[in-house]
Amino acid sequence: MCDWEMANIIFNKRPDLVRFSLSENLGTALHVAVNAKWSKKNVNFVKNLVDIMTVDDLELKNKHSNTAFWEAAAFGDKEVLKILMARNHNLLNIRGSDDGLFPLTASISKRNAKSARYLYSISEKMSDKHWTNRDKDLTLLYCVKSRLFALRLCCMEVQPLQYGGALKLLKIIWGHATRTMDIGEIEDMLRRPSKLLFIATERGITEFVVELLRTYPHLMLDKNDDGLTIFHVAIMHRRLGIYNLLYEVGGSSRSKIVELKDKSDNQMCHLIGKTSKDMAARMSRASLLLQREVLWFNNVGNMVSPYMWEEKNKDGQTALELFLEQTEDQVSKGLIWTKDCMVVATLIITVAFAVAFTVPGGYKGDNGLPFFIHQRALLVFAIADAMSLFSSTTSLLVFLSILTSPRDQHDFVYLLPRKLMIGILTLFISVAAMMVTFSASFFMLYHKGLKWVPILITALATVPVIVYAILQFPLFMDMFRTMYDSHYLFNPKKGMLYNTKAEVNL
């Protein structure tokens, strides 16, 4: 915690101490203050300290060649940056660190979104003479690597990927490059240091790729070290937003892209045959992952010519053979998961069927009717038990149909998510109904005394139902999205490359 009252006494006696090194990093008092944890008291300390420093004092550097402003940009708070900028506008143009980064670039590289947003708003004060090709290169690279578009960097006050203003930082840097560099220099920049265009494709930053292709459409034919275009890379990493751009490409250019092969003679169908770790991380269950992989395989297959299905790579495999080999593990896991669900449904059926003939309190000897025949709780008991039995039986039959249905691709792509959703939903209903049956039995047994017992047990019986619902809700939503997405993921209706008003969707 910075104590200005104590510091002010010291600085009044020795004003020159504001220029002395006070830390192991050879930083001044201002360096220490801007790196302190944010609080109003610390911000006031910085403000008071800046007031007694000269303009030149603010440009003092520590042993890492960083000014206090640079440190605040990378690690500090934007309020501190405002205080420093009010005294010395040149701080924005002083490089720091071993890489010689500008404060704006440093804030992006360190993922300091608030500072980056503020520096972006005043970045036009950086004159052209300060921006070298290397600076533009590094800034673009860090924009891609840090993914600050998804962190609301550029005045983005909506949810991630709802872009609009998120491209302002990219556009000002890219626009500057197009005004001051020729095509050869820009292509060289894109190839250094790690092929920015392909990094953006691998990470699924569609808005970055769209912005570049709108300016220089011929870049879509550019190849990486493996001889693949961005569309091939998009297929490998299952980046749907970038792959869908291929539908907007003209016939001749699309043919060149589609017929392209890598060094192992793998064409597009082979690449989709290889499983994607990116897709596996986004899908919760093996069955849903396999469904989405089949959907990708079918759509990419429709993009290529029929004869390409029969072509083999250097390993002697066709695209279908490679796909079947790669998805074998997913099929196995999906079958195990389906069988596990069937086991649970079978157990509930067994319990519900047995309970139907074991009424609480027993039966009267003279007429065989239940003792609690006139109680409303018995009616609830019977209805809930029947519902549990019927829903669990339905769930079992649905999962059984998944195992025994023919391996038709259309049914697998469009009906599997619906079947899984019905199976999980009916299984949940059976569990909930079983808990209602359990609670109703206690109301019948303790209705004349100790009424708190059935009330307490009913409250406790809701716990497993709520826990089940919470744990299975993400899976249920994945199934719903998968069922809905299957009909519109590919062949987008809205153009993006040649429609500047189109929104970017990943």
Tens digits of residue pLDDT in 386-402? 999 999 999 999 999 88
Q: What local confidence, expressed as pLDDT, does residue 160 receive? A: 37
Q: State which fold the 1-127 domain adopts.
A: 1.25.40
Separation CA 183–CA 347 (nearest Å): 69
Q: What local confidence, expressed as pLDDT, does residue 204 receive? A: 82
Separation CA 142–CA 102 (nearest Å): 12
Q: What local confidence, expressed as pLDDT, does residue 156 receive? A: 33
Q: State which fold the 337-485 domain adopts.
A: Butyryl-CoA Dehydrogenase, subunit A; domain 3 (1.20.140)
The segments of the chain whose pLDDT lies below 70 read 1-3, 38, 98, 124-131, 133, 136-137, 140-141, 143-195, 275-287, 361-372, 374, 406-414, 449, 486-487, 491-495, 498-506
CB neighbours of residue 415 within 10 Å: 17
The alpha carbon dihedral of 422, 425, 426, 427 has a sign of positive
Residue-by-residue DSSP string for 291-311: HHHHHHHHHHHHHS-GGGGG-
Residue-by-residue DSSP string for 66-135: -BHHHHHHHHS-HHHHHHHHHH-GGGGG--BTTTTB-HHHHHHHTT-HHHHHHHHHTGGGS-GGG--HHH
CB neighbours of residue 131 within 10 Å: 18
Separation CA 162–CA 178 (nearest Å): 26
Separation CA 487–CA 499 (nearest Å): 23
Q: What local confidence, expressed as pLDDT, does residue 168 receive? A: 52
Separation CA 86–CA 50 (nearest Å): 10
326-336 burial string, b = 16+ CB within 10 Å, else e? ebeebeeebee
| Crossing angle of helices 168-180 and 183-190, rounded to 10° | 130
Residues of the chain with CATH 1.20.140: 337-485
Q: What local confidence, expressed as pLDDT, does residue 368 receive? A: 60
Residues of the chain with CATH 1.25.40.20: 1-127
Among the listed residues 149, 277, 159, the one whose alpha carbon sits nearest the alpha carbon of residue 206:
149
Separation CA 191–CA 196 (nearest Å): 7
Q: Confirm whether pTM is higher than 0.85.
A: no
